[in-house]
Amino acid sequence: MGYDYNTQRKRMALPEYGRNVQKMVDHVKTIEDRDERNRAAKTIIQIMGNLNPHLRDEGDFKHKLWDHLALIAGFDLEIDSPYPMPEKAKFKEKPNQIPYKQGDIRFLHYGRLIELMIDAASEMEEGEEKEYLTTLIVNQMKKSYVTWNRSQVADEVIIGDMTQLSGGKLKMTEGVRILEVKELLPQPKKKPMQGKPHGKQQNKQYIKKKSHNRH
């Protein structure tokens, strides 16, 4: 008895549409009459749309489905598509490399994003907006420090690190309070007691039951 395993089947270009859609597309490619082939392709497009309703939120919903049909067919389906057929060569091109800023991060527990925020805040003009952003940065630095090191940290240490990273351009406004650790990190919720009563409550129930049995 032979078994039909997915590993032995034809590879699907877009597995999210399933094996049945792949089989239908392969069948449409064998239809000789062009008009009948067009009608079958439109039916498959409707089925593909029903299988992926989340695509309906996109502006080019129909266009995307027809492009997917071409992909599933391996760009070998002669039909009258309402949209230009996608170019096969474009799908073989490697994506452009995302440029990342090079160089070491001075404080790993703060991360690159904090450094970028500090650089941006340092270039701002003095005023309430800069003071507000500085306060947000300090609180985020404290949160990152505690999350990374799992220990308490003095506010002076955080302020000193910010001063160092900003080259002395950022300073805490006098009188501004840095949040406590319990305000920055979510506190674990206490689980309610379950099961049989313990302690005094259990003793009371035992005494009540014992006195009831005497009568």
pLDDT at 75 over 60: yes
Domain definitions of the chain by residue range? 11-92, 111-184
- What pLDDT is attached to residue 41? 95
pLDDT at 73 over 80: yes
**pTM over 0.85, yes/no:** no
What pLDDT digit, counting tens, does each position of 87-126 carry?
877 776 677 777 666 667 788 888 888 999 999 999 999 9
Are the C-beta atoms of 133 and 176 separated by less than 8 Å? no
Q: How far apart are CA 96 and CA 183, in angstroms?
A: 42
